[in-house]
């Protein structure tokens, strides 16, 4: 399967790219608005993997070109760029493609981080509104600590919650999530439930900032 990480030069994109390249045989495509930046970052990922004895070919492209070549497209961009990124690549998305969004809206003040809910209800629903009708949208990977994800020496042992309306797309993302060692996927219903999941992210950031030793914490449901 070909996986494109649009904005794959950023923190969450780096973590997912490295984990999928390390733990699976899926083809990894890194997307960016700047194709040269994407290619440079892809080479950095290859170097990191090679240092661990894993010989993988990671390719870098401009976002639309990466989306055009992929079966699953992950919007690993900040929340405020999510809808614009979908619109920029919409004509490269095909019927049957799966669009995955891990973004969550946050704002910060003197007290810490807080959930910033968009008018659509959630960033996941915002992405779904921007996506072509024949492209399924799944919300996933919202609450993962990017630094922990990108550190291949770190054990994960955490859960990711999935929301979506298309069962086949949910099946695909569940398999992809659980192909990462130490990551378990749990279903949390339809897209209307995304706000509750996205709102966990600022909570985790605040706990991590105020609790020694929990900087890159995650969630495990038992």
| Cα torsion 73, 75, 81, 83: sign | positive
**pLDDT the model gives residue 209:** 87
**Domains observed in the chain:** 2-210 (3.40.50.720)
pLDDT in tens, 107-132: 999 999 999 999 999 999 999 999 99
Instruction: Give backbone dihedrals phi and psi of 27, rounded to 5 degrees, phi first.
Output: -80, 130
Specify burial of residue 134 (Cβ count, 10 A radius: 0-12, 13-18, 19+).
Answer: exposed
CA proximity to 68, closest of 113, 21, 35, 108: 35
**What is the pLDDT averaged over residues 30-53?**
97
State both tokens at 127. 């992405």
pLDDT in tens, 179-194: 999 999 999 999 999 9
Q: How far apart are CA 201 and CA 134, in angstroms?
A: 29
Largest CA-CA distance found in the chain, in angstroms, rounded: 47
To the nearest whole number, what is the mean pLDDT of the chain?
A: 96
pLDDT in tens, 193-221: 999 999 999 999 999 888 887 788 899 99
């Amino acid at each position: 399967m070909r996986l494109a990480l649009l904005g794959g030069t950023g923190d969450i994109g780096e973590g997912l790219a490295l984990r999928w390249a390390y733990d699976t045989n899926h083809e990894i495509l890194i997307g960016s608005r700047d194709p040269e930046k994407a290619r440079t970052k892809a080479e950095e990922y290859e170097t990191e993997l090679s240092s661990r004895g894993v010989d993988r070919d990671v390719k870098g492209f401009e976002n639309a070109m990466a989306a055009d070549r992929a079966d699953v497209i992950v919007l690993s961009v900040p929340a405020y760029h999510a809808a614009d990124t979908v619109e920029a690549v919409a004509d490269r998305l095909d019927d049957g493609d799966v669009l995955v969004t891990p973004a969550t809206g946050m704002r910060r003040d003197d007290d810490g981080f807080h959930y910033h809910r968009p008018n659509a209800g959630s960033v996941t629903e915002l992405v779904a509104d921007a996506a072509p009708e024949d492209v399924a949208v799944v919300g996933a990977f919202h609450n993962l600590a990017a630094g922990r994800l990108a550190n291949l020496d770190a054990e994960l042992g955490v859960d990711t919650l999935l929301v979506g309306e298309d069962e086949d797309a949910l099946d695909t993302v569940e398999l992809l999530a659980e192909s990462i060692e130490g990551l378990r996927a749990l279903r949390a219903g339809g897209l209307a439930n995304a706000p509750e999941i996205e709102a966990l992210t600022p909570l985790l950031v605040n706990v991590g900032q105020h609790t020694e030793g929990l900087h890159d914490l995650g969630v495990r449901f038992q």
